[in-house]
Structure 1
Amino acid sequence: MFSTLEVVTTVVVGLMVGVEFSVAFIMNRMLDALPEDSGQLGHAHGGRMLGALMPFWYIGSLVLIAIWAVAGWHRDGAGLVATATGLLMLSVVMSILLLVPINNRNRTWTPENRPADWKEQLSRWNRYHYLRVAVIVAAFTLLVTALV
């Protein structure tokens, strides 16, 4: 049963990392390359879609990894899992304090109502997102290391 928890948690966190990595290094570059207002509209739509899904994914991942950390405290790799739990907690705090406020504004923007500094706000969101991706990649790496 514990092995199932380890595998499910690692897969759930790994998929989340993959999505966030893709947003940072693939999707945003694709959207930014679109002509005229298409990129901004794509960012807004992505903000609505992922903004609805990712809170559940982040919190679900955090719950799974916390259960692993508690249930496996006596096992090898427990310190790695505990550290990964702390990193995922940090990513949730970063999301709430830094990324969500920008995303909540961005997802309502259209070419008619977007603020003059919309590009700067998206750039700030991207910088915070790169940092969050680094944090969750580190957490995922610790989880995988704990498995081996």
Structure 2
Amino acid sequence: MLNALEVVTTVVVGLMVGVEFSVAFVINRILDALPGDAGQLGRSHGGRMLGAVMPVWYIGSLVLAAVWAIAGGRHHSTGLVVTAAGLLILSVIMSLLLLVPINSRGKTWTPENRPENWKEQMKRWDRWHYVRVAVIIGAFTLLVAALT
């Protein structure tokens, strides 16, 4: 049973890393290169869509890692899993304090109502998102290492 939990947790966190990595380094770059208002409209739509899914994914990943850490007991890799869970906690805190406020505004913007500094706000979101991606990559790496 513990082996199944380990695999499910690692896959769930790994998929989350893949989605967030692609948002940071592929999707947002594509959207930013679109002509006119298309990029801003795409970011708004992405903010609504992923803003509904990602909280469940982040909290679910954290819960899975915590259950793994508890179920693993005194196993030699428990420290790695606990540290990964700590990084996932950090990613949730970062999301709530730094990224969600910007996303909550951005997902409502249209070309008619967006603020003048909307690009600056998106760049700030991107910078924090890069840091968050690095944090969850660290958590994923620790979980993979705990499997060995």
User: Deviations along 1:45-92, whole A, 9 cap, x unmatched?
Assistant: 000000000000000000000000111131121110000000000000
Is 1:104 aligned to 2:104, yes or no? yes
CA distance in 1, matches of 2:78, 2:65: 11
Aligned to 1:70: 70
SS at match of 2:115: coil
SS at match of 2:76: coil
Is 1:89 aligned to 2:94, yes or no? no
CA distance in 2, matches of 1:143, 1:30: 31
SS at match of 2:10: helix
Unaligned runs of 5+ in 2: none
CA distance in 2, matches of 1:49, 1:39: 15
Q: What TM-score does the superposition give when structure 1 sets the normalisation length?
A: 0.99
Aligned to 1:11: 11
Q: What TM-score does the superposition give when structure 2 sets the normalisation length?
A: 0.99
SS at match of 2:35: coil
SS at match of 1:36: coil
Amino acid at match of 2:27: M
Amino acid at match of 1:48: R
Amino acid at match of 2:78: A
Amino acid at match of 2:43: H
Shift of 1:29: 0.3
1:47-62 to 2 correspondences below 5 Å = 47-62=47-62
Is 1:128 aligned to 2:125, yes or no? no
**Alignment length (residue pairs):** 148
CA distance in 2, matches of 1:128, 1:65: 23
CA distance in 2, matches of 1:2, 1:62: 16
Is 1:26 aligned to 2:9, yes or no? no
Shift of 1:118: 0.1
Structure 1 segments (4+ residues) deviating >2 Å: none
CA distance in 2, matches of 1:122, 1:135: 20
CA distance in 1, matches of 2:113, 2:76: 54
